[in-house]
Chains A and B, each alone.
Chain A
Amino acid sequence: MRVYHFTEQPYYPAWNDHQGSLRINLPNERCDPKTAGDLYHRWYDEWLVADDLGLDIMLNEHHQTATCMSSTVIVGLSILARETKKARLLVLGYPLGHRPDPLRCAEELSTIDVISRGRLDMGFIKGVPYEFPASNQNPVAVMDRFWEAHDFIIKAMTHRGENFNWEGEYFHYRQVNIWPRPVQQPHPPIWSTTGNRSQARLLGEKGYVMATLGSGYATRPLQDAYRAGYFAKRGVHAPADRFGYLGLVAVADNEAEARRRGDLVAGYLRSSAIVHVPFRNPPGFLAVEDYARMLKGQSPPRTFTKDGRAIDMYKGSVQDLIDAGVLFCGTPDQVYEQIVAFCEYCGGMGNLLMMGHAGFLTHEDTVDNLTLFGKEVLPRLKAWKQPVAEVAAA
């Protein structure tokens, strides 16, 4: 099993004073650039600790928000490509739906792969709904644009020989020949995320790593859809390393301290949904049938505990979040057991995307969290043999 340390790189000093929106329209005068600089250095220091502990690293990107200062993830990847030695560098996600220029994407990611000497994992996503007003890309038909950008990037990374031409529905290039090309062959591993089964099946057919966030004990149906697609194309069952899951992690020497940390880490969830209401669901982002259901106020719960109780991920207590597999929290023994139980439920889940820092968790607590996890949980997880769930007979 691999475990990737992740923080959203939040500008948490602005969290306690907002007018109902931490994203898109929180005025940037609320961000002190000096404080921001201190925070960036802190996140990179913590990722270096993770690298030393044998953890891998995940970064992401958001825009115009106090929840995540990584507005251009290529900067963080660039720094860590040079400063880390062993960790794989996963970008999840790289929001193709907000990108006007996939040629630039192919060039940036190839360069990161080369500088890191082949440690890049490319997590392509369409992007979050509320950032379309920021990127100004049209939310309508975003998945069509996503797949054309994806196809182009793969072609640009794998093409050899004479310059090639691209005159697609959304993107046009006349002389494509990227330098450098990636060092991982034929291209860095591709990851993506989804919350719906038809997309999960498609990712399975392609064999990409599929990650989910906050899906807790409702993850298995998505993974089984993936498994069906994977098996249909290959005739073998999808191994555990095809699945990723983003879970919040809070470890401490004793349970009370772990729960205190867990509550701070859950600040990520509690801040995440604070967005100016009209930006939450731009037209076209959801399939039109889902958009119609949303208009009617029908938004079924998506996070469940092991015994089927629906919880509100954004407001749930520490115990709720533990029960739902959203937060792994406790002593090293408890956290190991919670993660193993979750992976067994999944039928094999080989990549834990560990939110080891969030919100107001201090640097010292974060380092202690990572260190305890790296020394007392990670070796046992690596030694543990993942199951490989088979596709249910049709």
Chain B
Amino acid sequence: MSVTADAATSLVVNGTTLETIERGRGRPILFLHPSNGIDAGAPVLDRLAQGGRVIAPSHPGFGASQLPKGMTTIDDVSYFYLDLLEQLDLRDVLVVGVGIGGWIAAEIAVKSTERLSQLVLGNPVGLKFGDRETRDIVDIWSVTPDEFNALAYHDPNVGKRDYKSLPDAEALAAARNREATARFGWSPYMHNPKLKHRLHRICIPTLILWGTADRILSESYGRSYAAAIAGAKFEPIERAGHFPHVEQPEEFARRALAFADTPAARARRA
């Protein structure tokens, strides 16, 4: 895999080409983006790269990444990422996932933590706690873009995008992000009913970082998520919503790297 300073490069896993951003050197940090994709210029990537080698792919079907035939669930995506870890022979990996990326991270970890050292989940989806008539996660396909921004961000202006002036390639990537999110998250809505019953298999230090202004998810959802994973810590991040890595990139990366460097985490790595 070639590495350049900013632009995304290509990585082929099982014949599927992923666009991937890579930054920094040292212990591997796999960054798993949320539903709206990853921007090569995102400050959080540079900040995380101060603590290791950041590998940030666009998930299959997102951005400019190909979608393998038959891939329809986050369960499938997580197996794909296990193949990626194996192919790159990554070990001692800090996995950082936000939103749907946090869901993917949890799905990876219940299958195998052999190559992982810690999990950091930022406002993750993927689980259901409420009863059958209570939706835990706002139906993002029933709200307008403005309503979404008001629910998802501490500062709704951060979420605004001028689609009309977007270059065609970026508009296509945005359309693919939305389509892929619906492919994997339409129903059951943004969760895997099986996942809750598999979480006991996660045996590595886990941190939930929580943008407290998130109203796509409630804070009690985040705390329930942490309580469902043995030993998981929960840390709020103020002045951030559903995408804390975007609204507070410095704080998000600092907490993630600090967690990866705690004595318990170091002991595990040794």
B181 contacts the other chain (CB 8 A): yes
Which residue of B is nearest A290, CB measured?
B175
Q: Determine whether the beta carbon of A297 is less than 8 Å from that of B143.
A: no
Residues of A within 8 A of B176 (CB): 288
B174 & A292 in contact (Cβ 8 Å cutoff): yes
List chain B residues, Cβ under 8 A from A136: 186-187
B269 within 8 A of A: no
**Pair A282/B141 contact, Cβ less than 8 Å:** yes
Chain B residues contacting A284 (CB-CB under 8 Å) are: 179, 182-183
- Are B172 and A292 in contact, with the CB atoms below 8 A? yes
A138-B113 Cα distance, complex, nearest whole Å:
32
Q: Are B142 and A133 neighbours in the complex by a CB distance under 8 Å?
A: yes
Q: How many A-B residue pairs have CB under 8 A?
A: 62
Do the beta carbons of A139 and B171 come within 8 Å of each other?
A: no
Docked CA distance A131–B163 (Å): 25
Given A140-B186, A283-B182, A284-B179, residue A295 in contact with residue B163 (CB < 8 A): yes
Interface of B (DSSP majority class): helix
Say which residue of A133, A138, A279, A291 sits within 8 Å of B178 (CB atoms): A291
- Does the CB pair A138–B182 fall under 8 Å? yes
The answer to whether A283 touches B178, judged by C-beta atoms less than 8 angstroms apart, is: yes
Nearest-neighbor residue (CB-CB) of B148 within chain A = A278
What's the nearest-Cβ distance from chain A to residue B47, in Å? 30
Cα–Cα distance between A289 and B168 once the two chains are bound (Å) = 9
Q: How far is the CA of A141 from the CA of B182 in the complex (A)?
A: 10
User: Is B164 located at the chain interface by the 8 A CB criterion?
Assistant: yes
Instruction: State whether the Cβ of B144 lies closer than 8 Å to any Cβ in chain A.
Output: yes
Q: Which residue of A lies closest to B61 (CB)?
A: A140
Q: Is B166 an interface residue (CB 8 A)?
A: yes
Smallest distance from the beta carbon of A261 to chain B beta carbons, Å? 37
**Residue in A139, A277, A283, A291 with the greatest tally of chain B CB atoms within 10 Å:** A283
| Chain A: CB-nearest residue to B186 | A138
Q: How far is the CA of A291 from the CA of B180 in the complex (A)?
A: 13
Which residue of B163, B164, B175, B183 is within 8 Å of A138 (Cβ)? B183
Q: Which residue of A lies closest to B176 (CB)?
A: A288
Contacts of A41 in B (CB 8 A): none
Whether B141 contacts A278 by the Cβ 8 Å rule is: yes
Query: Which residues does chain B contribute within 8 Å of A291, judged by CB atoms?
Result: 175, 178-179
Cα(A133)–Cα(B166), bound, Å: 28
A191 to B100, CA, bound (A): 40
Known: A292-B171, A292-B172. A278 touches B183 (CB 8 A): no
Chain A residues in 8 Å Cβ range of B141: 133, 278-279, 282-283
Contacting pair B183 A140 (CB below 8 A): yes
Which parts of A281-339 form the interface with B (CB within 8 Å)? 282-284, 288-289, 291-293, 295-297
Assess A295 versus B142: contact at CB under 8 Å? Given A140-B186, A284-B179, A284-B183. Answer: no
A279 vs B143: C-alpha distance when bound (angstroms): 8
Q: How far is the CB of B216 from chain A (nearest CB, A)?
A: 14
Chain A residue nearest to B173 in the complex (CB): A292
Of residues 135 to 191 in A, which have CB atoms within 8 Å of B's CB atoms? 136, 138-141
Within B193-248, the residues touching A (CB, 8 Å) are none
Which chain B residues border A277 with CB–CB below 8 Å? 144
CB distance from B167 to the nearest CB of A (A): 10
Q: Is the CB of B163 within 8 A of A297?
A: yes
A interface residues with partner B (beta carbon < 8 Å): 133, 136, 138-141, 276-279, 282-284, 288-289, 291-293, 295-297
Q: Chain B residues in contact with chain A, CB under 8 A?
A: 139, 141-144, 163-164, 166, 168, 171-172, 174-176, 178-179, 181-183, 186-187
Sorted nearest first, the 10 A-B pairs with minimum C-beta distance are A292-B175, A283-B178, A283-B182, A291-B175, A292-B171, A140-B183, A138-B186, A292-B172, A283-B179, A295-B163
15 pairs across A/B with beta carbons < 8 Å?
Answer: A138-B187, A139-B186, A140-B179, A140-B182, A140-B186, A278-B141, A279-B141, A283-B175, A288-B175, A291-B178, A292-B172, A295-B166, A295-B171, A296-B171, A297-B164
Q: A140-B186, A292-B172 are in contact. List 7 more A-B contacts (CB 8 A).
A: A133-B142, A141-B183, A278-B142, A278-B144, A283-B175, A296-B163, A296-B164
